[in-house]
């Protein structure tokens, strides 16, 4: 896998474009049947020309590549059913995959494919799509040795009390940064990777614990919940997080950065609410950053309170430059409005506020806060 095409031009693809300098592969092109065809992908993502163009034609988009990376499982999800049905994106996805396979192009999906119609179609047409989970074997081996997975469901449930006590009894030297948000698609991954680059630029050993399904492409540990569920039961996910933190520390890293999935605020899905707070408690961040919007003061208050109860009050709020308004569509916010909102938030919540692109300032705030905490701890 050296020269790759990405499909479609969604937020996962945009993250790969934005941080392509951290990848071991060359992105040659992007294919999208609905949005931004003919545009330079880099210019759309961050305003810089990348010479990576977006094509509506599968023939043009797959020219000169050895691998097609699917950042979409071929079925609707996350509220995009209308666009899928209107543009027959399931049919176009299958035509794209078939075209690639017939030309000997390797096809990789960052998502596990669960849809039975899609799986039946793949079987009938002898289509093979690889799903790469990254270097999980050693992580699972260590997790099993530490927490155990034997016994009946009841025995494993009862053992959770013992395991959770173990998880919190072992002190960790590695400093943990948790990035959360008042809503989804607001820039958590962007801030995470900007901070990751800033730490590395300053020769500070750091791990990015990536909860997007693309961690393997960056050579970093991956925690996408759906890929985890394809291999292990949900109850083991907190142990997996703890094992990643432990691995990062033993590998000599001083910091680890995790961006939570979706919003930190509760939804009507009870299971995912439980998972969200289990992730927060098991990662147990030393420092919390909260990304917020422009008309969500009530949500900000709720998010700060939830973080205060389950973790720590944020040391900073972060403002994005754009927010996804609907599938594939974004609302950009001019600099002047962001600065005005920054002042407003500082006055209203009495908390530090930065813009999401000011990663160097955020890193310095984290280092200063950590140093102050260390000095205070030695003084006790």
| Predicted TM-score of the model (pTM) | 0.92
Instruction: Give me the residue spans of the domains in the chain.
Output: 3-131, 137-379
Q: Rounded distance, CA 268 to CA 351, Å?
A: 29
Q: In what order do the strands lie in the sheet with 175-181?
A: 206-209, 255-259, 175-181, 287-291, 316-319, 353-355
Q: What is the pLDDT of residue 128?
A: 94
Give the count of alpha carbons within 13 A of 220, CB side only. Answer: 26
Q: Rounded distance, CA 304 to CA 311, Å?
A: 10
Residue 117 pLDDT greater than 80, yes or no: yes
Helix (H) or strand (E) holding 353: strand 353-355
Q: What is the pLDDT of residue 380?
A: 57
CA angle (218 as vertex; 66, 252 as ends), nearest 5: 145
Rounded percentage of the chain residues whose pLDDT exceeds 70: 97
CA torsion 205→211→213→214, rounded to 10°?
A: -20
Contacts of 242 (CB under 8 A, 6+ apart): 167, 282
**Cα maximum dimension of the chain:** 69
Q: Rounded distance, CA 189 to CA 208, Å?
A: 10
Q: Check for a shared fold between 3-131 and 137-379.
A: yes
The CATH number of domain 137-379 is 3.40.50.300: yes
Burial class, 51, CB count within 10 angstroms (exposed 0-12 / middle 13-18 / buried 19+) = exposed
For the residues 62-89, what does the mean pLDDT come to?
A: 85
Distance of CA 320 to the CA centre of its chain: 16
Residue 61 pLDDT greater than 90, yes or no: yes
Q: What is the pLDDT of residue 162?
A: 87
pLDDT in tens, 253-268: 999 999 998 899 988 8
Q: What is the pLDDT of residue 153?
A: 76
Q: Rounded distance, CA 9 to CA 14, Å?
A: 7
Q: What is the pLDDT of residue 78?
A: 60
Residue 194 pLDDT greater than 80, yes or no: yes
pLDDT in tens, 313-350: 999 999 999 888 777 778 889 999 999 999 999 999 99
Range in 14-23, 43-52, 75-84, 265-274 the model is least confident about = 75-84
Q: What is the DSSP string of 240-261?
A: HHHHHHHHHHHTT-SEEEEE-S
pLDDT band at 83 (very low <50, low <70, confident <90, very high): confident
| Domain 3-131 homologous superfamily, CATH | NAD(P)-binding Rossmann-like Domain (3.40.50.720)
Residues in the chain, total: 380
Q: Rounded distance, CA 93 to CA 84, Å?
A: 10
Range in 10-19, 34-43, 173-182 the model is least confident about = 34-43
């Amino acid at each position: 896998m050296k020269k790759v095409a990405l499909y479609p031009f969604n937020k996962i693809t945009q993250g790969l474009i934005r941080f392509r300098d951290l990848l071991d592969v060359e992105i040659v092109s992007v294919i999208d049947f609905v949005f931004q065809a003919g545009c330079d992908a880099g210019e759309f993502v961050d305003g810089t020309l990348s010479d990576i163009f977006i094509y509506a034609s599968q023939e043009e988009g797959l020219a000169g590549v050895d691998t097609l990376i699917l950042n979409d499982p071929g079925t609707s999800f996350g509220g995009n059913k209308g666009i899928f049905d209107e543009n027959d994106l399931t049919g176009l996805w299958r035509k794209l995959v078939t075209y690639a396979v017939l030309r000997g192009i390797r096809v990789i999906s960052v998502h596990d494919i669960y849809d039975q119609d899609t799986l039946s179609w793949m079987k009938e047409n002898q289509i093979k799509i690889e799903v790469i989970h990254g270097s999980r074997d050693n992580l699972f081996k260590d997790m099993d040795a530490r927490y155990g997975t034997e016994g009946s469901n009841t025995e494993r449930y009862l053992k959770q009390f013992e395991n959770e006590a173990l998880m919190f009894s072992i002190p960790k030297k590695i400093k943990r940064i948790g990035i959360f948000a008042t809503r989804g698609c607001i820039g958590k991954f962007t801030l995470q990777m900007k901070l990751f680059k800033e730490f590395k630029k300053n020769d500070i050993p750091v791990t990015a614990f990536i909860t997007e399904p693309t961690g393997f492409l960056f050579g970093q540990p991956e925690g996408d919940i759906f890929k985890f569920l394809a291999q292990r039961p949900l109850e083991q996910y907190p142990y997996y997080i703890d094992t990643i933190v432990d691995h990062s520390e033993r590998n000599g890293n001083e910091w680890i950065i995790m961006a939570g999935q979706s919003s930190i605020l509760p939804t009507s899905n009870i299971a995912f609410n439980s998972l969200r707070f289990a992730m927060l408690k098991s990662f147990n961040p030393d420092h919390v950053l909260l990304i917020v919007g422009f008309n969500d003061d009530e949500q900000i208050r709720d998010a700060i309170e939830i973080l205060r109860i389950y973790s720590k009050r944020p040391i900073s709020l972060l403002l994005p430059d754009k927010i996804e308004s609907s599938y594939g569509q974004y609302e950009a916010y001019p600099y002047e409005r962001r600065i005005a909102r920054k002042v407003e938030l500082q006055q209203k919540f009495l908390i530090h506020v930065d813009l999401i692109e000011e990663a160097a300032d955020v890193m310095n705030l984290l280092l200063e806060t950590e140093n102050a905490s260390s000095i205070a701890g030695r003084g006790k």
